[in-house]
Structure 1
Amino acid sequence: MTITIDDLFQVTNIVTLVARSLTPRDYLCFQRLNKSLYDDYLQGYSDLEYWDMKLVSMGLVESDAVVDEMDSGVEECDALTIFDRIKGFQKFNAKEVYKKFHRCFWSFIMKLYEGDLDGVFAAAAGCEDPVTRVELLRQIRRFNRCNRCSYELYVQVEEHLEELQERFLEELLVELGGIFDERDYKSGVKIVDAYVALGEQATLVEYVKKKIEYTESSLVRYTGIFDLDECQLDQESVRTIFKSFCSFLNEKIEVVDVMFADNLSVMVPYCESFFEEVVVPFIAERLEGEFVSNFPQMRSEYGTWNFSAPRKYTVEYLPDVYGILVDVFRSELRDSINGGPNFVDIVIENIHVLLQPLIVDEYLLKIEEVFKTQLADEFTHYNEETAKKQEERNGQIYETLRNKIGGTELMNEKNNFLSSFTRILQKKNTNGIGSSATAEEELKLMYDFNKLNDNLKNLQSLVSVDLCYKAIQRSETIIADICKLSAMRRLPAKAPAAKVEDLAPCLKAACQRVFKLLIQEMSVRHIKPGFEKAVHVLQNYNPQDINRLTSGAAAAAAAPTDPLIKFIELINIGDIILQMISIFFRDKLIAKKIVDKNKDFLNELIQTKKNFEMMLDDFVAEGLNIGINKLMDEILFVFNSNQLPEDFNPDPSTVKNREIKPSKCATMIVELLSNHFFLLTGATDKGTIDVFQQEVGERFFNEVVKNIKKNIISTDGAIFLICDLNYYYDFIANKLKQKQIIPLFAGLKTVGQIFLVSNKDSKELGKMICDVGKFQGIFTQEEIYEFVQRRADWSRVRKDVERVMYGLAVSDCIIM
């Protein structure tokens, strides 16, 4: 069967598709092709759908509420204004509305279709302005969307429209070049607006950057930033150079603000390029190398480190250069309309970002290397000097110690010194290093320090407070320098974030490494050798040998105290050093959030500090053990004399009237512990206190276990046992806060539950004993079984408990 054209035109969908693919002119001809075809398919609703489709594809909205302004007596529109005047239509008049757009745009469509690009702008009256021409191109492109069903026409128009746009933009760039040559920047505003309207910002920005290009030779007239005779940074020269950079940028800001206003971001990317290609290379080049000639000696004639000496490597001055750079640009760089309200902040953030490679790859590595060398050299030198003078000082120790009245004066001096040291760090943390507000406190600190050092200098100087104090000062200076590099305040929320990795973690890690170097070098090269010698003296001390010495009564009385006093004095020195480190750690590292003690408890730095504390704690552990033994004896006495049988096994008739609270014994025990646990607070270092409290806590735990095992506990009395155990746990967890022993008391707290189970649930009790995990893994099943045996009703529940635990009870066994 042969299908004819007439047959195809009998199908509604085919007729509709053919009609919609035609241009308006061809569509009108198609309607006149056949009266029957017109009557059946191309009139009425089908005809309205064709014109409706055209208008909707142009972005107009179909609505019954639309009022056509042109039907209201408004004058005829042109291609530039018609889309503003007519934004919607009603379906019944879609064809009439389309006619209005057709009259405005069809001549442009035909010129573009035929490739007559020169005639497009010429055909539009009053279209000489660049912004007006851009608007015309946009409106033609919008109208051409209604020709998408006519594929050949649509594509040809789009291609020629793109070609016309490219030619137009090239002409604008040529005109813009003339504007720059004549410095008539206001005339370029319309060209900028045209580019922005067409979305060609990137091309325009690149062109403008080339027109206001910069060269290092034209900017940098001064190259020397160091005083080579003094091996110091010439800050005035640095400031002058950075001001010249700033002046150059201020000139460009004026140009860009006039031309671009806030339409297009030009100044921020321009500044990024300027710093990357000029400023940072300038800084990096001048901070290479070291001071070779005229470099002064780093140690004074007395053998102590001269911390005010110049730095050896030029890169060590990077924080100072960075500080001047930020200060100059924050104060001298003018605000920019184009750069936005946070322009200066963004520029300084870019400085911070672009200096990262120099900071990470050069400065941080070099400063750690220099600091480690300084510490090793000075501690080694001190040890050598001490060894040479050992014999001379040994002869003077005896007389000096004999005249010592007691430790009270020394302790007061030590506390005064540490108090002053704390205030100084706090002042520095608030006002900055070298602030005049700390002058009086500095004077007081040095007075207390010299007075303390004068009292200690006649002792066997195994450890030097002076040297350790200056080493801490040096590390403080280095960390303060590093922190200058992260002194940038956070940008406002609306400011664009830097597209690079945050430098803050790297700087924090560097500060932590400096502190770690301080601890390690001080420990290995100075503190540990000194204490090892002191321990050796103490270990070799024998009172019987003393009795065989001189027969003089005074000498015999004084001699036995000599090694002990030396050791105690050394412990005082170690305690001072440890507290200085702790104060420094708290006020500099924690206060500045270099270390978060709540989140970084596994941090290697904290572990290093703890190891240092533990090393010193070992030397006082034996004396503390004596005190712990005395305390345990007293606790045992309270248990034996005040833990009454009816505390945990009360008379059933009195239980209901008894208040549920800790027993008198528990209250006395906790009060006793509270008085002794915190006895050392303020008298010695935290590490020593921790060791003391942990040891007491562990031994107290064992005493509580023994106390439970020697008491009979009834189901009614279980609640009072639990109350006591909770009381102990609350004290340990919330007041003592020693993490190492909290799990012990957490496990102990759950033990009370096995006495609370009724004898009617004896099998459930057996299951509870088998669940070792319920007791925090502190007790074995055998230990829990020992606790259960203290139940008042043990004889009644024993059979069921053992059957659950072992599969059978003892009574089930038969002796053959």
Structure 2
Amino acid sequence: MTNKLEGINTLFSLELVISIIRRGRDSIERSGKFVSAGGDVGRSAKETCENIFVELVKNVGGVHIQGGFEKAIDTLDKYDATSMAPRRAVSLVDSNGREENQHTAVEPLAIFAELVNIGDLIQQMIHVFFEEELIIRGYVDRNSFVSPAIKEKRKFEKMLDSYVANGLNKGIDVLMDQIEQIFETDQKPTDYFPNMPIAPGSDKSGTGNSANSDAISNKARNRQSVVFKSAADFDVSPTPAAQKVVGLLKLHTGLLAGSTDRTVIDVFQQEVGVRFFNSLCKHIKHQTISVEGSMRLILDLNSYYTFIQSLKQKPVVPYFAALKEIGQLYLIDGKDAKELGKMLSDMTRFGGIFQPEEVFEFAQRREDWLRVRREVEKVIYGFNAADCTIM
């Protein structure tokens, strides 16, 4: 499988495409000599030139590019990130067009980005050939609805867009899997709950899923000897997991920059943003968050928000602005449960991104939720379950 991935960037041969285009240009020039004869001979010569272009596009698109994309997507679809090295050296271009130092990227997405770049270059070559050999020479009317050349060119462009969208979608799947793996392995339970009770003899590394951490915490509360982590042990920077995730996102959202159509880049970055938002919400709902640890969570959410802002994708920004407000739910001290209830009742602060039940789910991840729940529900509903009696 690794060998297949390393060979993906050879599935498209620019040399072959250039050779086909040169032969097509030579053939059109030979046939074009008869156009000046006019009459039936001239019309037949124009049709021949147009047919040459149609066959050229069919061979480049339907045979060469289509076959390459299908093999590449099939290989990416079978890629198992858990059993293969997920990294690949890539070079990015900064805003001034200068090449930056090499970075390591998730291999499937980095490789497919190379294919997109090559495919985009081939599409531009086909377009230039069409303009110079058929439109400028007057062999084809640009506004014709029945021209075989125009139909074939549009078919080729539609096919290319479809494969690019399909491949990038699979690449984003791999990227999200990588991010979830970072959350799973690098996000410590004590990041957002620094005073979490740690039972003697248990794993103090703090890594692992929330289910395990909850189990450890519950067992620890029932034991006499409990060790507490000091709240002073954490710093005021985003957690290592958040820094790693932002670095990964920054690298991969820039893979296509400057090498393909801006519309493709916008769609790709917006899709990454929305799917990362969903993954992040899921991640937060699996954490236990204390008032002391809320500041670290807010720092993480701020770093995610700053990154999303840097993409300049306005449709995605409100999602992460709402998440910043979610972070405030954990900052309120348990003694101010009424204030927490007021915040949960004010849906306007979340910009319509979250439904009330979703915000309530986030609030339940507070470490002291069982202690503050009664007062919070009184503020929200005016009463709670304990106030009800069965008649």
Q: So what's the TM-score if we normalise by structure 1?
A: 0.29
Residue 212 of structure 1 corresponds to which residue in structure 2? Answer: none
What are the residue-to-residue correspondences of 1:222-237 with 2, within 5 Å?
Answer: none
Residue 171 of structure 2 corresponds to which residue in structure 1? Answer: 627
Of 729, 732, 736, which residue of structure 1 is paired with 2:305? 729
- Asked whether 1:812 is paired with 2:356, we answer no
Shift of 1:749: 1.0
- Asked whether 1:465 is paired with 2:40, we answer no
| SS state at 1:757 partner | coil
Asked which structure has the greater CA Rg, the reply is 1
Residue 351 of structure 2 corresponds to which residue in structure 1? Answer: 776
Shift of 1:812: 1.9
| Counterpart-to-counterpart distance in 1, 2:145 and 2:239 | 48
- Asked whether 1:691 is paired with 2:267, we answer yes
Residue 368 of structure 1 corresponds to which residue in structure 2? Answer: none
| Counterpart-to-counterpart distance in 1, 2:309 and 2:262 | 18
Q: So what's the TM-score if we normalise by structure 2?
A: 0.57
Shift of 1:740: 1.6
| Counterpart-to-counterpart distance in 1, 2:58 and 2:308 | 49
Does the aligned pair in 1 maintain the 2:291–2:331 contact within 8 Å?
A: yes
| Counterpart-to-counterpart distance in 2, 1:754 and 1:524 | 62
Distance 1:395 1:732, change over 3 A: closer
Residue 533 of structure 1 corresponds to which residue in structure 2? Answer: 155
- Asked whether 1:746 is paired with 2:321, we answer yes
Does the aligned pair in 1 maintain the 2:51–2:148 contact within 8 Å?
A: no
Residue 794 of structure 1 corresponds to which residue in structure 2? Answer: 369
Residue 718 of structure 1 corresponds to which residue in structure 2? Answer: 294
- Asked whether 1:677 is paired with 2:253, we answer yes
What are the residue-to-residue correspondences of 1:575-590 with 2, within 5 Å?
Answer: none
Distance 1:528 1:727, change over 3 A: farther
Residue 648 of structure 1 corresponds to which residue in structure 2? Answer: 192
Residue 224 of structure 1 corresponds to which residue in structure 2? Answer: none
Distance 1:706 1:523, change over 3 A: farther
Shift of 1:529: 3.7
RMSD of aligned residue pairs (Cα, Å): 4.6
Distance 1:753 1:524, change over 3 A: farther
Shift of 1:395: 9.4
Residue 668 of structure 1 corresponds to which residue in structure 2? Answer: 244
Shift of 1:636: 0.7
Does the aligned pair in 1 maintain the 2:53–2:149 contact within 8 Å?
A: no
Distance 1:764 1:668, change over 3 A: same
Unpaired segments of 5 or more residues in structure 2? 1-30, 34-43, 70-120, 137-141, 196-227
Shift of 1:770: 1.4
Residue 637 of structure 1 corresponds to which residue in structure 2? Answer: 181
Distance 1:704 1:806, change over 3 A: same
| SS state at 1:656 partner | helix
Distance 1:395 1:466, change over 3 A: closer
Does the aligned pair in 2 maintain the 1:726–1:749 contact within 8 Å?
A: yes
Letter in 1 for 2:278: N
Residue 701 of structure 1 corresponds to which residue in structure 2? Answer: 277
Residue 766 of structure 1 corresponds to which residue in structure 2? Answer: 341
| SS state at 1:662 partner | coil
Distance 1:464 1:672, change over 3 A: closer
Query: What's the % identity of the aligned pairs?
Result: 41
Does the aligned pair in 1 maintain the 2:54–2:148 contact within 8 Å?
A: no
Shift of 1:700: 0.5
Distance 1:396 1:681, change over 3 A: closer
Residue 12 of structure 1 corresponds to which residue in structure 2? Answer: none
| Counterpart-to-counterpart distance in 2, 1:462 and 1:470 | 12
Distance 1:384 1:770, change over 3 A: farther
| Counterpart-to-counterpart distance in 1, 2:267 and 2:144 | 22
Shift of 1:728: 0.5
Q: Structure with the greater relative contact order (CA < 8 A, sep ≥ 6): 1 or 2?
A: 2
Residue 235 of structure 2 corresponds to which residue in structure 1? Answer: 659
Letter in 2 for 1:769: L
| SS state at 1:684 partner | coil
Does the aligned pair in 2 maintain the 1:462–1:530 contact within 8 Å?
A: no
| Counterpart-to-counterpart distance in 2, 1:691 and 1:523 | 29
In the alignment of these two chains, the number of paired residues is 266
Distance 1:806 1:464, change over 3 A: same
Does the aligned pair in 2 maintain the 1:468–1:522 contact within 8 Å?
A: no
Distance 1:813 1:695, change over 3 A: same
Residue 105 of structure 2 corresponds to which residue in structure 1? Answer: none
